Structure 1
Amino acid sequence: MRKKKGNGGMLHETLSSLYSSQPSSTLYHYTSLSGMMGIVEKRNFWASDIRYLNDSEELTHIESWLQGEIIERVQQSNTFQEVLMQFREWLRERLNYGPMVFVGCFTENGNLLSQWRGYCPHGQGVSIGFDPTKLVKRASLNSFAIGKCIYDRVTKSELAKKVIDAVISASQKSGESDKYHPSQSYYAIFAEMELQLLRIAALIKAESFKEEAEWRLVSQPLSSYVEPEIKFREGSSMLIPYMELPLVDDNKKIEMEHIFVGPTPTMNLSVDSVRRYLSREAVCPTISNCGIPYRG
């Protein structure tokens, strides 16, 4: 976590709390057969820009909770109306077009039908299980932190209150700036809090995804696409920015705890082919049939 500095430090405790929990059981990543081969042979994991993931509300889901808290505060009192209205407008822009946040997505459930359907090509999916302690260590070496996604309404509401409290406190401390247009006189304050707010937002997901029990590796926010570590890959209709997260030291085999082979019409052959491939390229003691019937 970043050290306290200026108004950004006002969210330090909230951010640290969110990233303090550590996974204790195997964490799985769903991908394709070719995706598995890429991870094994390149010995790294691709963390994608969060705004390019499948969920259209990524990074912006927190906005509805913050907007609701803003409306409630304004209705109760007009004391901080100006700063809250400015924060409301600032949010709409920065959550959509602000600094990049790269995430790697994992789950506690390595054999979930909705995950096979949502994240794997039909008949070509695998779920790779990693030792959580080793995964967290590698993430930390590359300036990534791990956090458990938040789905429940109570926690989201509490987080929204803490963020708005921090905004109000910072506005009282620093006051308005005459360097900006009067309609944006508090924007400098919000900018100091932006990087921490983005890392909080990266863990907030809609309640409908709760069964995924997702954990995320989350990068420090980056402001420039010309950063040397940022690469691009082809998506279904766009180019997706990503970063490579090394999983082992050079020339060492990747260690996996377990792999599920997803629904496929050739289950026995599929499991056997994965086992043969990994016996040469990686360490994986257990490879399992997912047990879910395939429907073509």
Structure 2
Amino acid sequence: MATVKFNPKDILYHYCSTEAFHSIVTTHSIRLSSMSLSNDSMEGKMVEEALARLAECDKCDQGTISLLQAQFEVYLKDVDGFGFCLSKKRELLSQWRAYASDATGVAIGFSRDYLELLREEYLRQRDPFLGFTIAEVMYDPEDHEKQVRPLYQQIKHAIDEGDLLEAKKHSPLRSWSNDTETQRKKSCLASLGFSTLMATLAFAFVLKSEAFKEEDELRLLALINRGEIKKLGFDVKSNSLRPYREYELKKFDQCTPVIKEVILGPKHRSPISVVEDFLRCNGFGYVHVSRSAVPYQ
């Protein structure tokens, strides 16, 4: 594989608390955490809104719209998206306030080229399902609908055939009857385009409201089946536990730095020299460290 050359424009920023920064540097690892348990209550929910808009364009009644949304909620209950959030924006007050402990933390400038190498490395592992993708967050409602349309068409077809209406009568908590017609409907539901469904579930965690467009966000994303405990850890977040999967920041033959830059938040108090020494002591070599120019106290 060819050596990746330095490209200042490939830096992606992870805004985080000082504690998270310390953990990443000392453990040489990052954590992809449950998105459904994040501070954003709309994580994973934008697909339902897109389904409703598509149904309204097809002049579907409210009952059909509710059934579409309810069916996707059933799918979403079985899968969670684990993510590590990054921004293309080097200095953004909203990011400092929301993700860096009210600007007391830092922004870690990761090399996108390095993260691509890391993604490829984990996909080559014995169990590729333990890997992750790198996905750009979509903010435009039209893009949301484009990504959701294939699943919408498949669920809508099942509704038109009466299969989802039949399913609604049979709670997942009850056993299905053994008659041939019910088994046919169950089989139809089970084959609702698995690849389409999984693709849409992945998009569920990269669709965000236009209100967040300025974040210009990317995510390292892994889909985890709920109940799957392989290589999971758990963080304590004040009054709750939040599951995560940890990924080692592996070293490659290429001269590609993991961290290219660190920006100290407007309220961060460490001297620049201390942060530089901290990075060198933990094997990251010389990293450019600067203080945020955003006026916020």
Please report the TM-score for the alignment, with normalisation by the length of structure 1: 0.77
Q: Distance in 2 between matches of 1:245 and 1:51?
A: 19
Residues 94, 177 of structure 1: alpha-carbon distance in 2 compared, 3 angstrom cutoff: closer
How do 1:258-269 and structure 2 match up within 5 A? 258-264=261-267, 266=269, 269=270
In the aligned structure 1, how far is the partner of 2:143 from the partner of 2:216? 15
Corresponding residue for residue 99 of structure 1? 79
Kept in 2, the 8 Å contact 1:259–1:287? The answer is yes
Cα RMSD (Å) of the superposition? 3.1
| Alpha carbons 1:27, 1:132 under 8 Å: kept | yes
Matched residue pairs, number? 260
Q: Which runs of 5+ in 2 are unaligned?
A: 1-8, 123-130, 172-184
Q: Indicate which of 112, 135, 139 corresponds to 2:119.
A: 139
Tell me, yes or no, if the aligned pair for 2:78 and 2:225 is still in contact at 8 Å.
no
Does residue 196 (structure 1) correspond to residue 177 (structure 2)? The answer is no
Runs of 5+ consecutive residues of structure 1 not aligned to the other structure: 1-23
3-state SS, counterpart of residue 228 of structure 1: coil
Match of 1:159 among 147, 157, 162: 147
Write the letter of the residue equivalent to 2:57.
E
TM-score norm. by structure 2 comes to 0.76
Partner of residue 58 from structure 2, selected from 73, 76, 91: 73
Query: For residues 56-71 of structure 1, what are the structure 2 equivalents within 5 Å?
Result: 56-71=41-56
The aligned residue for residue 211 of structure 2 is 208
Report matched runs for 1:1-296 at 5 Å: 25-75=10-60, 86-95=67-76, 97-122=77-102, 124-142=104-122, 143-168=131-156, 171=158, 176=163, 185=185, 187-190=189-192, 192=194, 193-225=196-228, 227-249=229-251, 255-264=258-267, 266=269, 269-281=270-282, 282-295=284-297
Moved over 6 A (4+): none
* 1:99–1:224 contact (8 Å) kept in structure 2: no
1:166: Cα distance to partner? 4.0
Secondary structure (helix, strand or coil) at the match of 1:240 reads strand
- How far is the alpha carbon of 1:140 from its aligned partner? 3.3
| Deviation (angstroms), 1:52 | 1.3
**Does the residue aligned with 1:258 lie in a helix, a strand or coil?**
strand
Partner of 1:12: none
Q: What is the deviation of 1:41?
A: 1.3
Cα contact 1:43–1:254 (8 A) shared by 2: no
| Deviation sequence 1:128-167 (CA, Å, 0-9, x none) | 0111011122123332111100001221232333332344
